[in-house]
Amino acid sequence: MDIFELIRTRRSIRKFTGEAVPDDTINTIIEAGMWAPSGLNNQPWRFAVVRDDRLKKELSSLTHYARIVSEAHALIAVFLDNEASYDRTKDAQAVGACIQNMLLYIHAIDLGAVWLGEILKKKDKVRELVEGPEDYELMAVIALGHPAEKKGNGSRKKLDETLFFRL
Ligand SMILES: Cc1cc2nc3c(=O)[nH]c(=O)nc-3n(C[C@H](O)[C@H](O)[C@H](O)COP(=O)(O)O)c2cc1C
């Protein structure tokens, strides 16, 4: 698949089979994230991986998306290390790029994932449950596993609705 096709066909996946994702694969997903660009190459991202059912259940109680969190094979909680941060906007952008790299790699290897943001309303509680230091600020939770739903076509605005200037 060429890179544009890979980007275009990635969809959020919210239903997962019970099939396991090996630790090595999860490590490679995180490494894909770590190859994202960052300002001054400061690499402000930090990760916590959760596969334990009891902990997933606890985390699921913190979000409206409880079913996704408890049924995903694994969760990758992505944090911004405020200690390593030099510019909040740029560092948050770098973490976003990191997350997208992971989502694209997950799609490329025929797994599925969804970027969960709603859980940020309980970001401190999530951090405590994964034993993160106070400087770590939750940016997203990625729920991933083997897809149990088809990747749809998705929908986006037309180019001319978003491109507002060209000279
Ligand atoms: C910052 C951010 C937060 C999101 N939060 C959630 C969420 O809490 N729950 C959820 O089901 N999807 C969440 N999503 C996924 C979006 O709903 C999804 O990307 C969007 O509808 C486009 O669909 P697609 O990813 O299939 O192309 C989030 C995506 C982003 C980028």
pLDDT, tens digit (0-9, with 9 covering 90-100), for 13-65:
999 999 999 999 999 999 999 999 999 999 999 999 999 999 999 999 999 99
CA distance 147 to 17: 6
Query: Which protein residue has the closest C-alpha to ligand 1 atom 11?
Result: 116
Query: Which protein residue has the closest C-alpha to ligand 1 atom 3?
Result: 117
Of ligand 1's atoms, which has the minimum distance to the CA of residue 118?
Answer: 8
Average pLDDT, the chain: 98
Check residue 35 and give its pLDDT: 99
Fold of 3-162: NADH Oxidase (3.40.109)
CA distance 7 to 157: 16
Check residue 1 and give its pLDDT: 80
Tell how far the Cα of 43 is from the centroid of ligand 1, in angstroms. Answer: 23
CA distance 47 to 101: 14
Which residue out of 78, 115, 123, 141 has the highest number of ligand 1 atoms within 8 Å of its CB and is therefore the one to mutate? 115
Is the pLDDT at 115 greater than 90? The verdict is yes
Which residue out of 62, 69, 114 has the highest number of ligand 1 atoms within 8 Å of its CB and is therefore the one to mutate? 114
How much of the chain exceeds pLDDT 90, in percent? 99
Check residue 45 and give its pLDDT: 98
Is the pLDDT at 75 greater than 90? The verdict is yes
- 124-151 core/surface letters (b: 16 or more CB in 10 A; e: else): eebbebbebeeebbbbbbbbbbbbeeee
Identity at 92, one-letter amino acid code: A
What digits encode the pLDDT tens for the residues 119-147?
999 999 999 999 999 999 999 999 999 99
Collapsed DSSP state (helix, strand, coil) of residue 130: coil
CA distance 91 to 143: 22
> Are the beta carbons of 95 and 76 closer than 8 angstroms?
no
Query: Which protein residue has the closest C-alpha to ligand 1 atom 1?
Result: 117
Tell how far the Cα of 13 is from the centroid of ligand 1, in angstroms. Answer: 10
Tell how far the Cα of 20 is from the centroid of ligand 1, in angstroms. Answer: 23
Check residue 150 and give its pLDDT: 92
Mean pLDDT of 83-99: 98
Mean pLDDT of 2-13: 98
* Residues at CB less than 6 angstroms from ligand 1: 11-12, 14, 65, 114-118, 154
Check residue 4 and give its pLDDT: 98
Query: Which protein residue has the closest C-alpha to ligand 1 atom 19?
Result: 12
